[in-house]
Amino acid sequence: MKKKLSLPQQVIAEKTVTILLVRGENPDGEAIYAYVAVRADRLEAFIEAQKTGTFYPEDYGVIIEADTGEPSAEIRKKMEDEYGFNHKLMVDIPDSERAYAITAQLRDSNQDEDDEDEDEDEDD
């Protein structure tokens, strides 16, 4: 069951973006991939939509890179350099419960960073 977010949590979720590497098949059966930037408040819906079969990631986020096959070394490097994507630390998100847990973790992490920024501002 999805928990309702407070207004401050909702604002944070709308401003937090995670980049996902999604793999699948196109209608011709070819392997495809897409790096998709998804807002935290859309992550659960994104994960649920993947279970429905035909799935259009652009309905839930922004496609940064996409192609057939696997990402080339050049694309992987671009994603690492320009977006901070870490291929070695990728996390499998199998269901909406895991998506919710990751969303909460991102939200908490952003809140901790905001609190640290406020503490630094007070020290100045």
pLDDT at 102: 73
Helix, strand and coil content of the chain, in percent to the nearest 5, comes to: 50, 20, 25
Q: Which residues contact 8 (CB under 8 A, 6 or more apart)?
A: none
pLDDT at 23: 86
| Inter-residue contact 20 to 35 (CB < 8 Å) | yes
* Number of other CB atoms surrounding residue 47 within 10 Å: 22
pLDDT at 1: 46
* pLDDT (tens place) for every residue of the chain, 124 residues total: 456 667 776 666 667 788 889 888 888 999 999 999 998 888 888 888 887 777 788 999 999 999 999 999 999 999 999 988 888 877 776 666 776 777 677 667 766 655 555 555 555 5
| Inter-residue contact 14 to 41 (CB < 8 Å) | yes
pLDDT at 113: 56
